[in-house]
Every structure is written in C-alpha cells, then in structure tokens.
Chain A
Amino acid sequence: MNKFIKLPLFLGGVCLFFGTALAAVYNVCQPVIEHNEMVKRNEAYQVLYDGVQVDGIKEVTYDFASNGYTNITGLVEVPHGSASSYVYSLTTDNPQSGTVSFMLGIDKTSGKIDSYSMITNNNSGYASKYENNETTLSELKTYTGQNEFPAYAGATKTKNAMKKAVDQALAHYKTLGGNA
C-alpha cells in the first residue's frame, strides 16, 4: 500500500483507539470531578456565610451577557441559617491592566449587600485596596446603587470598574423581584 495512505491510516487508527479510551476514562471521571468542584464551590460559600445549607444551594440560570449584564458570570441562591442570599460572581472590565473577580452576596429579602469576597486580582494597579474582604464589605453594606461607592485615593479607574460590576448585580437583583 502507498506510504502516503498507510502512514496516516496507522496514525489515525492509533488516535481513534486512544480517543475512545480517553472518552471512556472521561465518562468515568467527569461526574466525580464535577462533584469535587461543587464541593469546593460550596466551601467557598461557607466562607461568605455562617451556617450555609450546602444541599440547598441553587444555581440560577440566566443569559447575563445577552441581557447586558456583562460583568456577571454566575449567580447562585445560598440559604444560610434562616435567611437566604443571592451570590453573584462578578468580573470587572479591565481597569488598568487586569481584571478583578469577586463574589457579592445580596440578601434575598432586604436587598442589602451582605457578603463580599475577592477571588482573583489580576490587576496590577489599585485593586489590592479592595482585597481586604472585611473592610470592603463594611463599606459596601451601606451601598445601594444611589449613594457613594467605597473609593480609595488614586484608585478611580478601579473604583469605577468595581462600581459598574456591583451596580449590575444590584440591577439584576431587582429583576428577580427584589427591593434594592
């Protein structure tokens, strides 16, 4: 048989065989990996609130990007104690070379911001000023979207990017029938 046919055929056959084997291993492992990731995510929510009811965490499916909420990357409802909160995963636009990802919780009934946790900070500028979760949360607790957003000297671009993301979360909360 011509080498130009034989060699690719052999290589193709090897790829097909191993592709099938990989698919089989993937099918076995993927549910376990997903379960592990869910446990990890739930652990992250336990940092936000005391007494999180892990089994009650519900993911809210919504096409954020198509509806103009470009900074929202995810939303879950987290029951904790006798209350429940919506936790938004937010990523800022690019304020000064790098984005900031953080979680923001809004109380389901009162519409007040009740939790904040920075996840990643790839920003080389002033986003580090929002890294202290406790300080930032204490300032954000009084923020309603109408009043002044917590600001730090020299961090105007970062503040604006953070504000835009938080405003989107508050605006989306209203569409869920909230009071904010």
Chain B
Amino acid sequence: MKKDGKLATFVNPLIRENAILVNLLGMCPVLGITTSLNNALGMGVAVIMVLFFTNTFISLIRKWVPNEVRIPVFIVIIASFVTMVEYLMKAFTPDLASSLGLFIPMITVNCIILGRAEAFASKNGVVDSMLDGLGTGIGFLISCLILAFFRELLGTGGFTIRNPFNNELLFSFLPFAEYKMPIFVQSSGAFMMFGLILGVFYCIRMMMDEHKKEKAKKEAALKKEAENGAPVKEVK
C-alpha cells in the first residue's frame, strides 16, 4: 500500500527510513544502552520527547531564523530540551536516569535530532514536523527494543522489567539463566548483535523489494496484454 502525505511522514521513519536500521545514524546510545529492555524503553521515550519538541519548535520559528545562525539556534533548542528531559528523568525516574547516565545529555549531539531539525523541521510545517519527530522517535525506540530484546535474552538468559518510577521489580523471567552469554551485554556483544540484526533486516528488505519488482513486472505484463488484446508470456 502506498502511503502519501501526513501518514507517510509518520509511517516512513518507523521502518522504511528507520534512522538506526536503515540510515545507521545515532548509533552510539543504541549500542551503549541496549543492555536491557528497561534502558531501551527509557532512552527511546527520552529521544521521542526531544525529537517531538525540537521538531515542533524549530518548525514554528523556521521563518524567522536567520540562515547564518540556524545551526547554533538548533543546537540551543536541542540542548535545552535535552536538559529539560534530563531534569525530569532525574526527578521522576532517578534509577533509570542513573542507569542511562551520560547517554541522556549525549542526546544533544545525537545526529538524528540535528539531522531531522535541519533536513525536515526547518523546511516543513508544524504538523508534518510533529509527525516526523514522532515517527523518527518511535522508529528509534523500535530499533532499541529489538536490539535490547536479543541482548538481554542472550546476555542474562531472560528478561527483568522494573518500574522506572520506583525501581520496583515488575516482571522477571530468566528461564535460560544457566546458559547466559554475558558477552552480549558488553559492548562487543552489542556490535555482534547489531550486525546480525542488520543482516536479517537487509535480507527481509531485499526479499520485499524483489517481491515488489516481480509484482510490478506482472502488472506491466497484464497491462500490455490488455492493451494489445493478445496473451503475453507469463513473467516469472
């Protein structure tokens, strides 16, 4: 199904133009914090908030921002929203904030945020920018969750979910704890797992592209057949 307009602005960054799995942007926090689903969720929500608000604000003021100072203005806006998110996380999810540590302030220099501000929000309307921010952020969250799912499962032998607001244990499922491979919660394991996921993701994309091409060929052949009024050889 072809998606156009606002729906495409929101849906495309989720998978098709996913910042992590397709464009390979903002890898540093993704590899650093995806040791557990909790961290991935926390980081993902923080990035969604920052992307949504920076995109919205930059889009709002885009007509007044002088071209010469647009990058410093974007950086000030991004850094301010990141600092606000950091304060809020330290206040209301202190354990999650201490677990994510330096990766929260480092959202400021995440190229996804500045990239979307420069490439999209500074050139498009408010609603489109909001949708793009949300879509890109959710795409980031999805990538983090996929990576964290496999890293935590292999690295700890299961999953442990805690309430981010009071650090209470909500759910613990460790059926393979005896067979855990701690390398997957270390940085080297992050690269290995990310490589594997990228490989699978690209395979799926290639298969889908092939399928689309085949479908297009069949449709073209049928069209030709209808135009000529004569049967055409079946396209394999």
Q: Which residues of A contact B (CB under 8 A)?
A: 3, 6-7, 10-11, 14-15, 18, 21-22, 25-26, 28-30, 32-33, 36, 40
Contacts and interface: CB of A to CB of B under 8 A. Distances in A.
B69 A25 contact: no
B229 interface: no
A36 B91 contact: yes
Given A7-B68, A10-B65, 18 more contacts: A7-B66, A11-B69, A11-B72, A11-B73, A14-B76, A18-B77, A21-B80, A21-B84, A22-B80, A28-B87, A28-B91, A32-B92, A33-B87, A33-B90, A33-B91, A33-B94, A36-B90, A36-B94
Given A18-B80, A21-B80, A22-B80, A10 B87 contact: no
B88 interface: yes
B38 to A, nearest CB: 18
A151 B66 CA distance: 67
A163 to B, nearest CB: 33
6 contacts: A3-B66, A7-B66, A10-B73, A22-B84, A32-B91, A40-B94
Interface of B: 64-66, 68-69, 72-73, 76-77, 80, 83-84, 87-88, 90-92, 94
A85 B87 CA distance: 34
Contact of B88 (A10, A25, A36): A25
Given A3-B68, A7-B68, A36-B94, A14 B73 contact: yes
Contacts of B77: 14, 18
A29 B88 contact: yes
Nearest to A26: B87
* The 3 A-B residue pairs with the shortest CB-CB distance in the complex, in nearest-first order: A18-B80, A32-B91, A29-B91
A124 to B, nearest CB: 22
A80 B91 CA distance: 28
Nearest to A11: B69
A6 B66 CA distance: 9
Q: Which of A7, A21, A25, A32 has the most CB of B within 10 A?
A: A25
B87 to A, nearest CB: 4
B132 to A, nearest CB: 22
Contacts of B91: 28-30, 32-33, 36
B216 to A, nearest CB: 48
A112 B197 CA distance: 59
Contacts of B87: 25-26, 28-30, 33
A135 to B, nearest CB: 29
A38 to B, nearest CB: 11
A22 B78 CA distance: 12
A28 B84 CA distance: 11
A22 B84 CA distance: 6
A107 B90 CA distance: 34
Nearest to A19: B80
A28 B90 CA distance: 12
B90 A29 contact: yes
A128 B38 CA distance: 32
A15 B77 CA distance: 8
Nearest to B73: A14
Contacts of A3: 66, 68
A25 B73 CA distance: 20
A10 to B, nearest CB: 6
A160 B80 CA distance: 46
A7 B92 contact: no
